[in-house]
Amino acid sequence: MNREELGRRLMASFLGEAEDRIDALNEDMLLLERDDPGVRSAAVQRLFRSAHSLKGAARAVGITSVETMCHRMEELLAGVRDGVRPLDAALTELCFKTIDAVQDVTGKLQQGAVE
């Protein structure tokens, strides 16, 4: 297998993982609306892990915009997880916008656009 083929396979793997992670991120964001602190806490933990995993996958294929967005989201969620930052409407909106931006980038990559 040559370098170009390896790159294509890695990108295809990344895009598949990104799609799964984006779905999981959106689902867990919706759980933040629940009144149950246990559900919210578990959702924040999963959101953090999903953002972290997606950040690493993006780094592996050189998609720096997704890596950076996930890193920023991870920092915000760490603050919530650690009790340093409140989980408020502004944070929730920012996280949803970040997920949408990641989805936009990965959608363009699936269509063959180069970052």
Please tell me the distance from the alpha carbon of residue 109 to that of residue 87, in angstroms, as a whole number: 32
- The pLDDT, as a whole number, for residue 3 is 85
- Whole-number Cα distances in Å, 33 to 11, 30, 79: 34, 6, 18
Where would I find the beta strands (DSSP E) of 1-115? none
Q: Provide φ and ψ at 35, rounded to 5°.
A: -80, -15
pLDDT tens for the chain, 115 residues long, are: 788 888 889 999 999 999 999 999 999 999 998 889 999 999 999 999 999 999 999 999 999 999 999 999 999 999 999 999 999 999 999 999 999 999 999 999 998 876 5
- The pLDDT, as a whole number, for residue 53 is 96
